[in-house]
Amino acid sequence: MEKQDKIYKTYKKNIKPFKFDKSVTDVFDDMAERSILGYQEILKLSASLAELFIQKDTSFYDLGAATGNTVKAIAPKIKEKNVNICLLDPSRDMINKCMQHFQQKRFSNFQFTFICETIENTFIKDASFVTMNFTLQFISPQERDNILSKIHAGMKNGGMLFLSEKIFFNNPLLQKTFTELHHDFKLNQGYSQLEINQKRLALEKTLIPDTLSKLKHRLEAAGFSSVSTVYQNLNFASLVAIK
């Protein structure tokens, strides 16, 4: 049974920048479900698209794999395609959790590669499908274009990048409204006002969102075509980009 996220339940005098350490890894699945609007819908959509776009005898990369939820959703859809499934995360705790998950018998016929390093230091090759769910937002804005270009360069023609991000709105009213509605969502998920406020302070130092138009521009500048928004729920969005 998954552990409940109680990281910010008690008052903290000094709020440290959010990081994906063991404490977050242990409760990540619960945290994602209760914090990301449409989380399960995004996983299901990525799986449906993977089934259509992953080519036989190629690679599928999940960049920022966390505990492996995206791969768990996609793997059953591609079991006949002889795909090398590469799970990348710079957090050793996350990669260890992934390795535990995919040692289960139901995954015994899949080929997995576990990579514990940053995207900047990773060589991407023969990828027909790449997922990057809520990962780019934690990378320095100055590095994002280079990373997307690197992903594009390592993909096969006709391959798809599935990118999900928390987004920012230039319109102050929309930004305020959607932030408040997201706040209400978290309250309804059982988080207290204290938890929400403390996590917000921690994330402000590490999560820097782009606008939707900026994300599209980045993808097009990296060389992708057919860039489109395929899902949005308030300030959470998923885009696809085809090489």
Q: What is the mean pLDDT of residues 24-31?
A: 96
Q: Which residues, 6 or more positions from 40, have their beta carbon under 8 angstroms from its beta carbon?
A: 33
Whether residue 122 is predicted with pLDDT greater than 80 in this model: the reply is: yes
What is the gyration radius of the CA atoms in the chain, in angstroms?
A: 18
Percent of the chain with pLDDT over 70: 100
202: in domain: no
Whether residue 163 is predicted with pLDDT greater than 90 in this model: the reply is: yes
53: in domain: yes
72: in domain: yes
Q: Which of 67, 243, 239, 70 is CA-nearest to residue 167?
A: 239
194: in domain: no
Q: What is the mean pLDDT of residues 113-131?
A: 96
Distance of alpha carbon 91 from alpha carbon 66, whole angstroms: 8
Distance of alpha carbon 143 from alpha carbon 72, whole angstroms: 29
45: in domain: yes
Provide the number of structural domains found in the chain: 1
For residue 129, what is the domain's CATH number? 3.40.50.150
CB hemisphere CA count around 19 (13 angstroms): 9
235: in domain: yes
CB 81 within 8 A of CB 52: no
Give residue 38's pLDDT band: very low, low, confident or very high (50, 70, 90): very high
What is the pTM for the complete model shown? 0.96
48: in domain: yes
**pLDDT top residue among 1 and 53:** 53
Torsional class of 57: left (φ above 0), alpha (ψ -120 to 50), beta (otherwise): left
CB 132 within 8 A of CB 64: yes
- Whole domain around residue 157: which residue ranges? 39-168+212-242
Whether residue 1 is predicted with pLDDT greater than 70 in this model: the reply is: no
Longest dimension (CA), the chain: 53
15: in domain: no
Q: How many residues would you count in the chain?
A: 243
